[in-house]
Structure 1
Amino acid sequence: AYDLAGADGLVSKKRGRPSNRRHSEDFRNLVLDLVREHYADFGPTLAAEKLLERHRIAVSKETLRQWMMEAGIWVSRRERKKRVFQPRGRRDCFGELVQIDGSLHWWFENRGPKCALLVYIDDATGKLLHLRFAGSENTFDYLHATKAYLQQWGKPIAFYSDKHGIFRTTHASKRDRTSGLTQFGRALYELNIDIICANTPQAKGRVERANQTLQDRLVKELRLRGIDTIAAANAYSPEFMADFNRRFGKAPRNPKDMHRPFAAHENLDGAMCRKEIRKLSNSLTLRYDKVMFILDPTDRAAALAGKKVVVCDYPDGRLEITDGEATLPYRTFDTLRSVHRSEVVENKRLDDMLALVAEMQAGREQQRSKGGPRRTGQTDHMFGIRDGSQSNGYQKRGTKPGRKTDFTKDPVVIAKRQQALAQLKAAE
C-alpha cells in the first residue's frame, strides 16, 4: 500500500466512516425520547440503569452520556458554570451579628496534639471577640466559650454559624420554635439570642477567611513563644486578639453597640449548661448517664415523687437537680463503678476473690449511655469510671516476704547472741 499510494496508503479505509457496531439512528432517537420524557433531570449513569430496569433497553452509560451531551440534555462538568457567590456587605453595628466557627488544625504543629480553635468574630468590624482552644468541637466547650463571651461583651442580636450538629438539628418543627433545639440552641433561646445557620461556607466568609489567617499567623506566634498546650494557648489568646484587631479591625458604619445587657429574669450560669428532663420515681430516684441519683427525703422532694425534674449538667463538672425553683440535694450510686484494687480488704479469701473481680471488670468495655453528652469539654465531672488498671492509680503489690529460715547471718540475731554470751561470761 505504501509503494502504491505512499503515506496515504497507510491510513485505514475505515477512517471517518461510522462503526459497524454502532446503534442505529432510530434506536438513538428512541432512547433520547425516553430520557426527555421520563429522565430529563437524571444523570447518564442513573438514566442508563432505569432504561434497563423499566424499559429493557441496554445502553452503556458512556454512550448515553455522549448522546445526552450532543442533544443538550446533559452538560459535562468542565462546561458547567461555577456557582457565583455575590459579596455581602458588612452589618452596620458592632454586636449585630457575630460569626462563630471551629477550626480543627495542628495549631501546635508537631509540638502538641491536634485541637480545635473556637472563633468568635464580629461581622461589622472584623474584630476577634473571643478565642478558645479545645480538644474538639463539642457542646461543653462552646458553652464555656459563649459564657465567657457574654460575660465580657453582653448579648449580641444573633450568632451566625454553620450547620454543625451543635447548632442545628434536623428534627425542628415549623410551628414550634423551641422544638428540636440543640442544647446550645436552647441555651441561647433562654437568653433571647438568635442563632442563624449558614447554608454554605461562603455565606460566612468572614470567619472562614479569619481561620485561614489564624492558621498562618497564630501558628507561627505559638511556635515563637514555645506554646504547646491548650491551657498556655488560651492564656496567650487575649494578647494575640489585641494585636490582630489593631492590625485588621475596621470601624463600623454605625457607632452604636448592639450588645444588650441581661434581663432581670435571665440567668447566664443556669442557661449555659446541658439540661435533661427526668421523671422522679416514687422512691425519689432517677437515672442520668447510667448513674442513679437518690434525692434526700425532704418535704420538697417528697412532693415531687412521680413528677418531672430537670438535671443540669454544667461545663465545669457541676451537676444539679432542680424543680425549676430550687436545687434538690442528692447522693449518687454509679452502676458502672468497678472495684478498685486499693479498696480490697486484707482477708485472705476475700482478697483473692475481689482481685479476680477487679481484673474481670478492668477488661470489660465500660461506657456511658450513647445518648449522653461527650465530656471532653468538661474540666471536672463525676462520671469518670474507676477500674483496676494501673493507669488509674492501681499500684501492684509485690509478694509478701516469707518466714525466715536462716538466722545465722542475720545481723540482729548475731548481735543478740553475742550480748547473751557476754552476759553468761560475766555471770561466771
Structure 2
Amino acid sequence: MGWVLMSERELRRIEVLSRVVEGRLSVAHAAEVLGLSPRQVQRLLRVFREDGAPALRHKARGRPSNHRLRAGVRDLALALVRESYADFGPTLAAEKLAERHGLEVSRETLRKWMAEDGLWLSRTQRRQFHQPRLRRERLGELVQIDGSEHRWFEDRAPPCTLLVFIDDATSRLMQMRFVPSESTFSYFEALEGYLHEHGRPVAFYSDKHSIFRVAKEDARSGHGMTQFGRALAELNIEILCANSSQAKGRVERANRTLQDRLVKEMRLEGIRDMEDGNAFLPGFLARHNGRFARVPARSDDLHRPLDLPPERLWDILCWRDQRYVGQQLTLTYERKRIMLEATEVTRGLVGRHVDTYAFPDGRLDVRWRGLSLPYRVFDPDQQRVTHAAITENKRLSAVLEAIKEMQEAQPPKIPAAGKQRTRYQPTGQRSPGPRSFLDKRAARKADKTARGTGPVSDP
C-alpha cells in the first residue's frame, strides 16, 4: 500500500483505539482521553477493526477544498490590485474589490497573495515600537488635536493641511477640516464645528506649537496665553501640551492612517480641491468611526452643552487685542493706520487703549467697553507680507501662496535708495584745528592794516 500520511491527532486515535481492542482501556475512558463522545468512539472502533489503521485517515486529504476559489480568481484579483490599488493595504484593497468589481476575496487570502507577489510587506517587516499609554476612560475627557500638512489631493491640487480632532478614549475622529495652513483662525473654524456638533470637552491635547502655547514665559503681552488658549479659557476648556510626538501618538497614528486611506478614497472619488474635500469628510468620518472606533471603558459622555448665542461665540473665536489711541484719534493695526471717527465717545479715548476684534472673514471691529466705534483705514491695500518676514515652518506654504498672488496682481515696487546718514565721505582737506594766541594776534594786525589805521601795538 505504501506510505500513508497521517496527522498527530490521527496517530493518537490509533494508539488509544489499539488499547481498547486489546482490552486495556474501556470505551468510556477512551472517549475522555480523545475528547469525543462514546458513540463517536464506537464508530471509529468499528472502522478500525474492519479496515485497519489507514481507514482513520481523513477522507478529504489530498482532495481540493470545498471552499476553494475558482481558477483564475487569484490572477484577476492581483491584476486589479496592480492596476488600481498597488499602494493599498490588503484590507482596503479587499473592500474596494468587493465594492467596485464585485470580487469577493477575504482580506487574509488577498494578503497572502499580495505577499507572495511582493505587493505587501508583512506586519513583522513593518513593525514599530511605541511606549504604551493607557486610554482615558470616557468620551470627551481628552481630545487630541493636530494638523498634518500633506499632498492630500496628490497632483490634483497644491499641498494643504488637515486638522484632526480625535478622542483619546475611543479613537473616534470627532472633527476634520482641510485648511490652507495650521493657523489660529483655521483652528477657530474647526473648533466652531466641533462645538456645534459635540459640545465642550474637558481638555484638548496638542503639541507645543505657538498657536497653543506661549514660548516665552516673560512675554509682556498676552497675559501668558495665546489667542487660542484665551478662547478655550472663555469656553472653560483646558489645553494641555505634549512634551513629545509619542505622547500624543493617538492622533499621530491617525494622521498616518488618513494619509493612506483618505488620500486613496478621494482619488477614487475624483476630489480635486479643499472645498470638495471638506464636503466629502462627513461621510468618510462616519464610515471610519464605524469600523475603527472603540467602546470606552465608561459609557458616560463628558461633553458639556455649548449654551452660547452665535454672537457671543463669534466674539470668543476671533483675534482680540488692544491698541493705543494717539492724539489724532489714530491707532495702528497690522501695519495699517486706522482713524476713529470723531464722536462724543471717541474724543475722550485719546491716550487710552481700545479693543480690536479681528474675525476669520476679514472684518475688524474696534470697541470701547463693548461699544463698536466707527473708523476708516488708510492704505487698506498695503501688503501683509513684508520683506525678510519671519515665517513659521507650518505656515510657509500659505505665505508663499499669498506672495505669489501679490506678485501676479501688481508689478514690483522699486524702493528708493535712502540716504545713508552714517556714511563718511572724505573731502581731502585737513582740518586746521583751533587757532593759537599768535594766530589770533596776526589776524588782528592784518585786519588793522587792511583798514589803513596803521599797526596796532600789543596790549
Unmatched tracts of structure 1, length 5 or more: 1-83, 339-364, 395-428
| Higher-RCO chain (CA-CA 8 Å, sequence separation at least 6) | 1
Find the counterpart in structure 2 of residue 344 from structure 1: none
Q: Which of 294, 306, 320 is the equivalent residue of 1:275? A: 320
Where does 1:70-219 land on structure 2 (aligned, <5 Å)?
A: 86-172=131-217, 179-219=223-263
Alignment partner of 1:287 is 2:332: yes
For the residues of structure 1 that align with 2:335 and 2:300, how far apart are their CA atoms? 49
- Match of 1:18? none
Residue identity matched to 1:104: E
- Mapping for residues 309-328 of structure 1, pairs under 5 Å: 309-328=354-373
Question: Would the aligned equivalents of 2:196 and 2:306 in 1 still touch at CA under 8 Å?
Answer: no
Deviation at 1:305, TM superposition (A): 2.2
Q: 1:135-192 CA deviation, whole Å, 9 max, x = no partner?
A: 2211211111112211221111110001112111222369x99733122112212222
One-letter code aligned to 1:167 = F
Superposed CA offset, 1:83-116 (max 9, x none) = x964222111111111001111111111111111
Report the aligned-residue RMSD.
3.5
Please give the alpha-carbon distance, in whole angstroms, between the structure 2 residues aligned to 1:291 and 1:147.
29
Contact 1:156–1:259 (8 Å) recurs in 2: yes
**C-alpha distance in structure 1 between counterparts of 2:396 and 2:191, whole Å:** 17
Cα separation, 2, equivalents of 1:264 and 1:386: 38
The aligned residue for residue 428 of structure 2 is none
Q: How far 1:229 moved relative to its partner?
A: 0.5
Aligned residues: 279
Tell me, in whole angstroms, the C-alpha distance in 1 between the residues paired with 2:259 and 2:184. Answer: 23
Whether contact under 8 Å (1:290, 1:336) holds in the other structure is no
Residue 284 of structure 2 corresponds to residue 240 of structure 1: yes
1:330 paired residue number: 375
Residues 281 and 255 of structure 1: is their aligned pair in 2 closer, same or farther, counting only changes over 3 Å? same
1:7-22 correspondence runs (5 A): none
| Aligned partners of 2:142 and 2:169 also within 8 Å | yes
Q: Which residue of 2 aligns with 1:297?
A: 342
Q: TM-score, normalised by structure 1?
A: 0.59
1:220 corresponds to: 264
Find the residue that maps to 1:306 and give its secondary structure: coil
Q: How does 1:407-426 map to 2 (within 5 A)?
A: none
Deviation above 4 Å: which 4+ runs of structure 1? 263-266, 335-338, 368-378, 383-387
| Higher-Rg member (1/2) | 2
Contact 1:100 1:159 in 2 (8 A): yes
CA distance, structure 2, for counterparts of residue 371 and residue 324 of structure 1: 34
- The runs of 5 or more residues in structure 2 that have no matched partner are 1-128, 412-459
Question: Quick one: which amino acid aligns to residue 219 of structure 1?
Answer: V
State the SS of the aligned residue for 1:192.
coil
1:101 maps to amino acid: D
Identify if the C-alpha distance between structure 1 residues 154 and 102 changes in structure 2 by more than 3 Å, giving closer, same or farther. Answer: same
CA contact (8 A) 1:103 1:211 kept: yes
Whether the 8 Å CA contact 2:195–2:306 is kept in 1: the answer is no
Whether contact under 8 Å (1:289, 1:372) holds in the other structure is: no
Partner of 1:255, secondary structure, is coil
